Structure 1
Amino acid sequence: MNGKHDDDAAEKRDDQPADHGEGIVFARSDRLKRSLSARQVQMIAIGGTIGTGLFLGSGKSLAVGGPASMLLCYAIVGAIVFITMLSLGEMSAFVPVAGSFCSFAGRFVDDAFGFALTWNYWFNDAVSTASDLVALQLLLRYWTVSFPGWALSLIFWAVLIAVNVASVRAYGELEYWLSLLKIVAIMAFIVVGIVVNVGGNLDGRYIGGENWRLPGGPFVGGIGGFASVFVTASFAYGGTESIAITAGETKNPTKTMPRVVKNVFWRILFFYILSILLIGLDVPYTFPGLNSKTTSTSPFTIVFQMTGAHAAGSVINAVVLSSVLSAGNHALFAAGRLLYTLAIEGHAPSAFARLGANQVPWVAVLASAFVAGLCFASSFVGAGQLWTWLQNIVGVSNQLSWIAIGIASIRFRSGLARQNKTHLLPFRNWTYPWGPWAVVILNSFLVLVQGWSSFSPRFDPVSFVSLYIELPIMLVMYLSWKGWRRTKVVSLAEMDLETDVHTADEDRVDDKAGHWAKRVATWLV
């Protein structure tokens, strides 16, 4: 490093001393507080992914594609996301910053690429928060239609803002316990789903695989139905990659991030695939209310209703509601950090980089929450319809983000090889080089073909726009920034592989779980 860079780095280290055992830190580009423990980060990974997409999106997937299409699509997308997470984990362990893959896109590929991707993903998380608030309205209708849905969204909108501007520790604790509740609910669902299938239902009959043999199933809608489930599955898995955004506020990130990547994804995949299989077996795709303009019933609630227990449906619906709130909490957290990253990188007004007393980017959080206010549009178009549109936008945005992670990973490894620094990696993606290429190619294919349903049996312009609007927007943002700033593709020899880098092995012993309940929770994640 040159002398000026050394002085700048030293100044940053003096202002913000590194925690003991956190590795060799060359320089730090953000001023966020590292307050999240490994326990909280692993639960945030679960909470940020398992939410609306699984609890409500699975109902739409079943109605549109049938049980076989749903199972296959969720499995395929799950495999793609696994490889994506290995690629992201490798970069995040080496460069643990709040911007995560959005920062990597600009740092390892092209500043214009990072600009377009970060704005796209910020909008993704802000819209995800909106979709979760809309989902609350859909779940409320299980109990009553007289209470205004917008009022419920307004109440929880205020709650999410309060939690996210308070402190990162408050956010982490709330997310930890809500995520733990999700895990317990899904485990209970798996048990109940099996019992219902073998005869523990109102009719006392063995269901087995009869719902797979219904007319039109198990592939409802043929190739069109199958293709359309991919965007729903991508929406459901969305948030897995955003766990890396917590790297900038994670204690001991070099050790924590690889463990989260390696362990958490398998838990998520297990919960998803088993839950999707049981939903397809127990709930017929013709069940009313799975997917409509005004309402959407969670398949989880339907399965618990099938037991005949009077309060079972209400209990699980309440749990699903809290799970959706958790997902919204995570999305708003990520949106605030991304807007903060845009500001410190000069891609957004500097006001968004302002931090509060607890080193929380409160201005960025409030701006993101304002966009999430889109949820109140449900009063005009119907909560079910609006949720479907938002789900399509977020699903495609997730796929574009995964493509970007694959591209950044390819460039990152090439830069390390050119500068002879590959040996410094604290965690390696064993699927490289074929893995990142597979992520780029497969996701690109899915983005293009999953809009089949908007053309058949007749052209649906609104559906078409919600499925493809992200593509021209991101392209225009990329070309505009590139033309204005005259940015160039980063040279492999000049790629910044020093700022924020963590390379030293860490021997810090993790916080002991202590209480037996905490040990169980740690094992689960």
Structure 2
Amino acid sequence: MTPNSVEKSSQGSVAEIGTNKSYSADAVSTHSYEDNSSDRRVKTQPRGLKGHIKNFCDGFKIYKPELGVDTSKMTDLEKANVNAASAPLKRKLKSRHIQMISIGSAIGTGLFVGAGSALSTGGPASVIICYFLVGAMIFSTVQALGELAVAFPVAGSFLPLCSRFLSPAWGFTIAWNYAMQWFILLPLELVAASMTIKYWNTSVNSSVWVTVFFVVIMIINIFGVRGYAEVEFILSFLKVIAIVGFAILGIILNCGGGPVGGYIGAKYFYNPGAFANGFKGFCSVFVTAAFSFAGTELVGLTSAETENPAKTLPTATKQVFWRITLFYIVSLTLIGLLVPYNDKRLLGASSSDANASPFVIAIENAHIKVLPSIFNGVILVSILSVANSAVFACSRTLASLADQSFAPKCFGYIDRKGRPLISVGISLLFGLLSYLAASPKEDIVFTWLMALSGLSSICTWAVICLSHIRFRRAMTVQGRSLDELRFKSICGVTGSYLGFVLNIVVLIVEFWISLFPLGADPSAQAFFENYISIVVNILFIIGYILWKRRKTILWIRAKDIDLITGRTDYDAELNRRERAERKAYLHSKPWWYRVYKFWC
């Protein structure tokens, strides 16, 4: 495809991949689903209870937007690009929703409970260093994702873009890898929530609490993306308040302002020490830190349901990650100052054991009554927040798989309210695995379920970085200017290379730790409990190759990559003028404001 074949996009002409044919840009515009014909029909319904009931029932009917494009002669990849660009999802997410969704999905048990395991394994210095390094890796990864999501705010975000910029084989693998992660996370979080309740009540069977939480999650997601977003906003806000409150309390306790004990300072960095278990302990914390940030890519997955992605996503990708990094670094530094890494309550606890939370332990060490229960309530909120996000992410992933013909077409059923109903139902169906908590073999089952999704996020982030690298390469090869982009990654393509390399390093380190586990003898069981997800991904690729056979495409050349379908705006001159106006405006402001706007 030559650069000239896609010029004059503002006049409504879009070229197909590798051909001279063109079709209306309006037909594949990311705004094509804004057709409110169903809403207009709803308004004509009779008022009163009968009318409201009819409107409610009509909302569940399938909504099929007119593409205005003949897809009969297109390749599977071309059809997938058109489907992703025209998915009838609703743009109801505001900036506050996007930021809190990403914060809420990343700040959960990985911070509140998992940090305890990291502290006991590597010591406080390892925790601070590793979480900082992973925070930097995630920042560059999500900057790359932000650039792609603003340029292509299509359904499924990076999932169909992986097929577009790498190959359908890689897209198939990473999409099912991502779906598997959220499939498994929902029942795990529901069980974790039921176990957290035992902090206060051990007489009620865990299955009762699983049922209560399952029904709540189901009701929230029936209300669509707006209902999910509002609940997530509230839950995430509570978590942010808790972390800020703990930071203030931690400083007071460290300076000797608690009910008991005097000045603590950095004594735990000297006794028992700043590092534990040597280099292997450090590497174990590095892997744990990477797992703790799982879910932060949700900011990109929401692009097709965001009101104004060109304005909202750039701010969200910058602000969210600075906030997450600050929340992690500040709170974990205080944890390292308040809790020694050899505290017995940190050892041998599961990731869902609230009693092993270093936040709760720090408060209990200060002999502050009631507050441990309050913070345990925050942990419960965090668990439910992640479970809520699991249904959202899994349902959108399944719908994207259907758009790309990687899953049954029924998975792509989207109703007039913009809800992928079938995919939501399947996601909730997997949540029923949480009733295995009543089984005497629950530990074995959930250990292997967790193993299946263990490295999913690492693989996803690596592919996002690689997709951004390929996107920039295609822009260069096809003679397109970067001025066409409404938002460019702060880290540029160099940041994507760095993010990709660091993600590969995490996989290598995890491979080493899986072969030679810390404090245990090498065994096949220990290896596969940590690394089986990589084996499953290899099987996904092999399965795709066997499925497609001669039609398999393992790598798309840069000159053949589709840079047009689903693009919101690529008027270089208009973007250049807007950028000049913004630059002139910033120059009129103080230096500190310019620095703030650059990073936030």
TM-score with structure 1 length normalisation? 0.89
Q: Aligned partner of 2:308: which letter?
A: N
User: What is the CA–CA distance in structure 2 between the aligned matches of 1:385 and 1:191, rounded to whole Å?
Assistant: 40
Residue 458 of structure 1 is matched in structure 2 by: 521
How do 1:367-382 residues align onto structure 2 when only pairs under 5 Å count?
Answer: 367-380=426-439
Residue 201 of structure 1 is matched in structure 2 by: 258
1:10 Cα deviation (Å)? 3.0
1:15 Cα deviation (Å)? 5.5
1:154 Cα deviation (Å)? 2.6
**Could you tell me which of 136, 153, 177 is aligned with 1:120?**
177
Contact 1:36 1:168 in 2 (8 A): yes
Residue 442 of structure 1 is matched in structure 2 by: 502
Q: Aligned partner of 1:256: which letter?
A: T
How do 1:157-172 residues align onto structure 2 when only pairs under 5 Å count?
Answer: 157-172=214-229
Query: What CA deviation, in whole Å up to 9, does each residue of 1:429-463 have, x standing for no partner?
Result: 23233222222222112112225444243125443
Q: 1:154 to 1:285 in 2, by over 3 A?
A: farther
Query: What CA deviation, in whole Å up to 9, does each residue of 1:236-279 have, x standing for no partner?
Result: 11111121000010001111111111111101100011111111
Residue 177 of structure 1 is matched in structure 2 by: 234
Q: Is it true that 1:468 corresponds to 2:531 in the alignment? A: yes
Residue 34 of structure 1 is matched in structure 2 by: 91
Residue 154 of structure 2 is matched in structure 1 by: 97
User: What is the CA–CA distance in structure 2 between the aligned matches of 1:431 and 1:100, rounded to whole Å?
Assistant: 20
Q: Is it true that 1:322 corresponds to 2:381 in the alignment? A: yes
Contact 1:61 1:232 in 2 (8 A): yes
Structure showing greater Rg: 2
Q: Aligned partner of 1:496: which letter?
A: D
**Could you tell me which of 16, 27, 31 is aligned with 2:33?**
16
In structure 2, stretches of 5+ residues that fail to align are 1-14, 37-80, 579-596
Q: Aligned partner of 1:182: which letter?
A: K
1:207 Cα deviation (Å)? 1.6
Q: Aligned partner of 2:126: which letter?
A: S
> Percent same amino acid at aligned positions?
35
Indicate the SS of the match to 2:346: coil
Residue 71 of structure 2 is matched in structure 1 by: none
Residue 492 of structure 1 is matched in structure 2 by: 558
How do 1:218-233 residues align onto structure 2 when only pairs under 5 Å count?
Answer: 218-233=274-289
Indicate the SS of the match to 1:6: strand
Q: Is it true that 1:249 corresponds to 2:305 in the alignment? A: yes
Residue 48 of structure 1 is matched in structure 2 by: 105
User: What is the CA–CA distance in structure 1 between the aligned matches of 2:130 and 2:188, rounded to whole Å?
Assistant: 22
**Could you tell me which of 336, 340, 362 is aligned with 1:280?**
336
Contact 2:33 2:86 in 1 (8 A): no
Q: Is it true that 1:146 corresponds to 2:203 in the alignment? A: yes
1:296 Cα deviation (Å)? 4.5
TM-score with structure 2 length normalisation? 0.78
User: What is the CA–CA distance in structure 2 between the aligned matches of 1:73 and 1:380, rounded to whole Å?
Assistant: 36
Contact 1:117 1:401 in 2 (8 A): yes
How many residue pairs match? The answer is: 502
Contact 1:66 1:218 in 2 (8 A): yes
Q: Aligned partner of 1:474: which letter?
A: N
Contact 1:291 1:384 in 2 (8 A): no
User: What is the CA–CA distance in structure 1 between the aligned matches of 2:464 and 2:474, rounded to whole Å?
Assistant: 15
1:170 Cα deviation (Å)? 0.7
Contact 1:88 1:244 in 2 (8 A): yes
How do 1:323-338 residues align onto structure 2 when only pairs under 5 Å count?
Answer: 323-338=382-397
1:166 Cα deviation (Å)? 2.0
Q: Is it true that 1:239 corresponds to 2:295 in the alignment? A: yes
Q: 1:15 to 1:46 in 2, by over 3 A?
A: closer
Out of 197-206 and 323-332, give the one that drifted further.
197-206
Out of 178-187 and 230-239, give the one that drifted further.
230-239
User: What is the CA–CA distance in structure 2 between the aligned matches of 1:279 and 1:393, rounded to whole Å?
Assistant: 30
Contact 1:353 1:363 in 2 (8 A): yes
The one of the two structures with greater contact order (alpha-carbon pairs below 8 A, sep at least 6) is 1
Contact 1:231 1:392 in 2 (8 A): no
Contact 2:27 2:86 in 1 (8 A): no
Residue 404 of structure 2 is matched in structure 1 by: 345
User: What is the CA–CA distance in structure 1 between the aligned matches of 2:372 and 2:452, rounded to whole Å?
Assistant: 30
**Could you tell me which of 466, 471, 478 is aligned with 2:541?**
478
User: What is the CA–CA distance in structure 2 between the aligned matches of 1:184 and 1:73, rounded to whole Å?
Assistant: 24
1:370 Cα deviation (Å)? 2.4
Residue 360 of structure 1 is matched in structure 2 by: 419
